[in-house]
Structures are given as structure tokens and as C-alpha cells.
Amino acid sequence: MATSIRLAAELEQRLDFLANQTGRSKAFYLRQMIENGMDDLEDYYLAAEVLERVRKGEEEVHSSVEVRKDLGLEN
């Protein structure tokens, strides 16, 4: 899927420099940044949704003591 984005001039210059110095395409580095950053974005936004449900009392919460006991990890 083709997608276009606008970059700040400084960021585009940095990307151009990196691509020129390494012989790789700008598209290569943009794909790398998106793929690597996607995990972080998913973690952040999905966790924020869970936190909101916890605050609203819509999500069940367990203490570490309860979890250890349920898993049989208590001494």
C-alpha cells in the first residue's frame, strides 16, 4: 500500500544523510521506523484503553499477592 507523509525539513535531511551514507533507500528506513515503532504505539494506546477501563471500574484488577497465590508461588 502506498502512503505518503510530510516530514519536517530537518528530519528529511537526516533521513537523506542516513540513506546516502549507508546506500539504503529512505523507504527502507521509514519501513524500519514504522515496524519498530508499531509495537510501542500498540503497547501505549492499548494499555491506555485498559487503564481507562480500570479507572471506570470496568476491568477486573488483581493484586500480586492474589496472583502468586493462584499460581501456587507462595512459600
- For the segment 17-68, what is each residue's pLDDT rounded down to a tens digit? 999 999 999 999 999 999 999 999 999 999 999 999 999 999 999 999 999 9
Q: Using a cut of 0.75, tell me whether the model's pTM lies above it.
A: no
Let me know if residue 55 belongs to a domain: yes
Let me know if residue 64 belongs to a domain: yes
Let me know if residue 32 belongs to a domain: yes
**Domain of 54, in residue numbers:** 9-70
CA distance 69 to 33: 41
Let me know if residue 75 belongs to a domain: no
**What sign for the dihedral angle of Cα 17, 18, 23, 28?**
negative
As for how many domains the chain has, the answer is 1
Helix axes 9-22, 26-55, angle to 10 degrees: 130
Let me know if residue 1 belongs to a domain: no
